[in-house]
Chain A
Amino acid sequence: GESVGLHLPTLSVQEGDNSIINCAYSNSASDYFIWYKQESGKGPQFIIDIRSNMDKRQGQRVTVLLNKTVKHLSLQIAATQPGDSAVYFCAQRAGGFKTIFGAGTRLFVKA
């Protein structure tokens, strides 16, 4: 069945370092991938997305990489800040409207 999973449930990084959050997905038919950030007590917030015809997309301090060969997605955060501490979810959509979420990775930023 469809699944989106994460390799690391928690990640702790030093302030100023780069963070890399990984995600594996199983549905090779997925054509759209999204990263969300969720802070405590709030709803998920869109960070960046990528379509299956791309392998890299950059935003402000964030980069998403897509490797369709091994069905792997990663989120890179440059110069991680305390405000980046949150749970990060990858999600995939394979046509239609059903978006499948991974379990999430909690990012801790140490000052």
Chain B
Amino acid sequence: NAGVTQTPKFQVLKTGQSMTLQCAQDMNHNSMYWYRQDPGMGLRLIYYSASEGTTDKGEVPNGYNVSRLNKREFSLRLESAAPSQTSVYFCASSDSSRGNTEAFFGQGTRLTVV
């Protein structure tokens, strides 16, 4: 089982460039999430999708947009990258139909904005 797959694993952008981070899960989970992790800090929620067709802001949504393309895929877009968005980005999914359950994480995308 692949679980949660993120692409790309590494990316360097120039300030002002745009890009989309891709995420797909094969566990038939209805909820998906995007987090960022900065050095020495925990994960902060950017956006989440409780179910297919819905998206909501998390703690730090500014500068990002998301699309829940279908049940499997949840993408994160940076329209105009800024150095403050240099971080490691994690996608996660969970089966919220069973109430509170743990999230499963991808391997992360390390993004550097110069």
Which A residues are closer than 8 A to B by beta carbons? 4, 31-32, 34, 41-46, 49, 51, 89, 91, 93, 97-99, 101-104
Q: Which of B38-46, B62-70, B71-79 contacts A (4 or more CB under 8 A)?
A: B38-46
Mostly, the A contact residues are: strand
Give chain B residues whose Cβ lies under 8 Å from the Cβ of A45.
Answer: 105
**Across the interface, do B106 and A43 meet the contact criterion of CB distance under 8 Å?**
yes
Task: Please judge, given known A-B contacts A43-B90, A89-B42, whether A99 and B105 are in contact too, CB under 8 Å.
Answer: no
The one of A31, A42, A89 in contact with B100, judged by C-beta atoms closer than 8 angstroms, is A31
How many residues from B make CB contacts under 8 Å with A? Answer: 27
Give chain A residues whose Cβ lies under 8 Å from the Cβ of B4.
Answer: 43
Tell me the residues in window 20-48 of chain B with beta carbons closer than 8 Å to chain A beta carbons.
Answer: 31, 33, 35, 40-45, 48
Give chain B residues whose Cβ lies under 8 Å from the Cβ of A32.
Answer: 100
How long is the Cα–Cα vector from A19 to B80 in the complex, in angstroms?
44
**Across the interface, do A93 and B104 meet the contact criterion of CB distance under 8 Å?**
no
Task: Please judge, given known A-B contacts A32-B100, A43-B107, whether A99 and B90 are in contact too, CB under 8 Å.
Answer: no
Q: A32-B100, A98-B58 are in contact. List 8 more A-B contacts (CB 8 A).
A: A43-B106, A89-B43, A97-B50, A97-B96, A98-B45, A99-B45, A104-B41, A104-B42
How long is the Cα–Cα vector from A34 to B104 in the complex, in angstroms?
12
**Across the interface, do A44 and B105 meet the contact criterion of CB distance under 8 Å?**
yes
Give chain B residues whose Cβ lies under 8 Å from the Cβ of A99.
Answer: 33, 45, 103
Give chain B residues whose Cβ lies under 8 Å from the Cβ of A89.
Answer: 42-43
